[in-house]
Amino acid sequence: MGKMQRTKGAAAEREVVKIVQSVWPDVARNLAQSRDGGRDLVNTPPLCIEIKRQERLNLRSAYEQCKAAATSEEAAVVVHRSNHTQWLVTLSLEDFLGLTLSSRDEQEPD
């Protein structure tokens, strides 16, 4: 990967961190991701987040990369966009339903 691509990737990670901090104030870029593997952000339970800012994204490959980095308790999530577009989130239907049910259960009174 060239320097320009690394710079663009780091800028994308910083941009997403600023957005996500409203939900997870302790979220941070994973500066050791090359050594520790996979995930671009840390402190985002129950998600393993991979960030991609590419014009031609192989979404399946990005998802599989994220899935490989995720623990069995984490949902693999790819946050992605191309130039001049909004950020999108991709995750498996199974993980989406699990997160939705978990959120709904937390909102129901005992």
Count of Cβ atoms closer than 10 Å to residue 67 Cβ:
19
Residue 33 is predicted with a pLDDT of: 66
Is the pLDDT at 27 greater than 60? The verdict is: yes
Domain hosting residue 39, numbered range: 3-107
- Report the alpha-carbon distance of residue 21 to residue 107 in Å, rounded: 22
Cα angle 23, 89, 62 (rounded to 5 degrees) comes to 120
Q: What percent of the chain has pLDDT over 70?
A: 87
Residue 109 is predicted with a pLDDT of: 61
Strands 28-29, 41-42: pairing is antiparallel
Is the pLDDT at 32 greater than 80? The verdict is: no
Quote the number of domains for the chain. Answer: 1
Determine the average pLDDT of the residues in 35-62. 88
Is the pLDDT at 54 greater than 60? The verdict is: yes
Which residues in 7-44 are b (16+ Cβ under 10 Å) and which e? eebeebbeebbeebeeebeebebbeebeeeebbbbbeb
CATH code of 58's domain? 3.40.1350.10
- pTM of structure: 0.85
